[in-house]
Structure 1
């Protein structure tokens, strides 16, 4: 299976917080899941922890490399910029990643949030999301139990898969 591509300053194990969540779903394909993730304005439709998504510079609705956007999540107001965006196709996984930041000084949080969506044999899709974080808020999040990032990202994955299934039913 494929893996996330990490910038040097966000390597898991060398950052203040790291979470990894994935799901493997039968009966879905990467091409069905991708549009629900790549259109950030849709996130609040299936993930209650994402709100007030806004794309700058008249971008969108689909995310693309270099696009700047804003959203609210986990109590943070996040400014973000897409650093990797490759749609799935022809045996290659879909890849989406952004650098996000919030706050200043001691409240500054910097993240690299990456997604991988790939078709697997037997009519299955694998959706992997991993995030690394640096900053004082990241240290606090890493120590919190239950882990809000782990649980929140799993909720995002569950909602993403459900949205893709509903989307398929609507288009039939």
Structure 2
């Protein structure tokens, strides 16, 4: 049985303005190999072209942790976030990271819940699931855009994450993903 994302009130898919889900099941990697590239947010810009200027607001540590606040730029704008779930993977349980993020004000405010699940599967495989729900006018615009910028951006992040863990380089550098700023 595969695990699922745990959703807080107000962010359950289907009841929000936008929802995207991306998943990869990869042979030859483990959750322990994937985890540092995800949990150490300052690494994101080194492999994911849609992430920049990661800064921690209430800690000097580059590693995400429950309650840790940080900011970064993505999809052409700044996002401030707070980690609301953090469980490192073990043999018995999947790794989980989730943050509540926000940006903009008034009519252009965006609120998101972005969650990751990383779990080892039998046969030397790892499953990486990332899902995001969003509320606000910008979310409504992204939900109807074609191609969907969130879906494509998060797929690029998954591809880049696995490439970084394999040591095979950066995915998406110098390439523009349709719908991304």
Are 2:134 and 1:139 aligned? no
Structure 1 residues 57-109: Cα deviation after superposition (integer angstroms, max 9, x where no partner): 23322110000000000112100000000000022000000000001110000
2:130 aligned partner: 129
Partner of 2:76: 75
Name the CA distance, whole Å, in 2 between partners of 1:64 and 1:51. 19
- Tell me, in whole angstroms, the C-alpha distance in 1 between the residues paired with 2:70 and 2:59: 10
Distance (Å, rounded) in 1 between the aligned partners of 2:73 and 2:61:
18
| Comparing 49-58 and 33-42, the one that deviates more | 49-58
8 Å CA contact retained: 1:59, 1:67: no
Q: How many pairs does the alignment contain?
A: 167
What residue is the counterpart of 1:120 in the other structure?
121
In the TM superposition, what whole-angstrom CA distance separates every residue of 1:115-151 from its partner, at most 9, and x where no partner exists? Answer: 0000000000000000000000000000100010000
Contact kept in structure 1, 2:58 and 2:70, CA below 8 Å: no
Instruction: Spell out structure 1 runs of 4+ moving beyond 2 A.
Output: none
SS in 2 for 1:77: strand
Counterparts of 2:60 and 2:5, CA distance in 1: 25
SS in structure 2 of the partner of residue 164 of structure 1? helix
* Secondary structure class of the residue paired with 2:7: coil
Question: Deviation at 1:47?
Answer: 0.4
Structure with the larger helix share: 1
The CA distance in 2 between the partners of 1:107 and 1:15, in whole Å, is 16
The equivalent residue for 1:18 is 19
- Residue 41 of structure 1 contacts residue 54 of structure 1 at CA under 8 Å; is this kept in 2? yes
What TM-score, normalized to structure 2?
0.91
Per the alignment, residue 170 of structure 1 pairs with: none
Partner of 2:164: 163
- Which residue of structure 1 aligns with residue 5 of structure 2? 4
- In 2, Cα distance between equivalents of 1:153 and 1:63: 19
Q: Cα offset for 1:49?
A: 0.2
Distance 2:58 2:116 in 1: 24
Query: For 1:10, what is the secondary structure of its paired residue?
Result: coil
Q: Which residue number in structure 2 is paired with residue 40 of structure 1?
A: 41
